[in-house]
């Protein structure tokens, strides 16, 4: 794992999970290994979508949409109701 070079992913590691290039929050990594289950899926969203928030990690939210899809979304893309 390497620290992400992209400033949008500050505090994240760039890595490969199941042959997919992705990012992992540094909070979930210890000595180069994941310390918990982690789903790297980024959640696609549209204006007006309502999300159920599960977790906030740095500037990203782990949420579920109305269709039951779960993944990460940048906090800057979400407005609290």
Delimit the domains of the chain by residue range.
1-39, 41-81
More reliable by pLDDT, 51 or 81: 51
Rounded Cα distance between 48 and 50, Å, is 6
| pLDDT at position 5 over 70 | no
Q: What are the pLDDT digits (tens) for 21-39?
A: 888 999 999 998 889 999 8
Rounded Cα distance between 27 and 13, Å, is 10
Rounded Cα distance between 66 and 81, Å, is 15
Q: Tell me the DSSP string of the chain.
A: -EE-SSGGGTTEEEEEETTEEEEEEGGGEETTEESS----PBPP--TT---EEEEEETTEEEEE-TTS-EEEEEGGG----
pTM of the predicted model as reported, rounded to 2 decimal places: 0.80
- β-strand pairing of 70-74 with 60-64: antiparallel
């Amino acid at each position: 794992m390497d620290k992400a070079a992209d400033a949008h992913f500050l505090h994240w590691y760039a890595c490969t999970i199941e042959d997919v290039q992705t990012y992992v929050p540094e909070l979930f990594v210890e000595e180069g290994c994941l310390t918990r289950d982690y789903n790297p899926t980024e959640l696609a969203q549209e204006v007006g979508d309502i999300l159920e928030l599960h977790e906030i990690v740095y500037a990203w939210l782990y949420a579920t949409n109305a269709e039951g899809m779960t993944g990460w979304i940048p906090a800057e893309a979400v407005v609290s109701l």
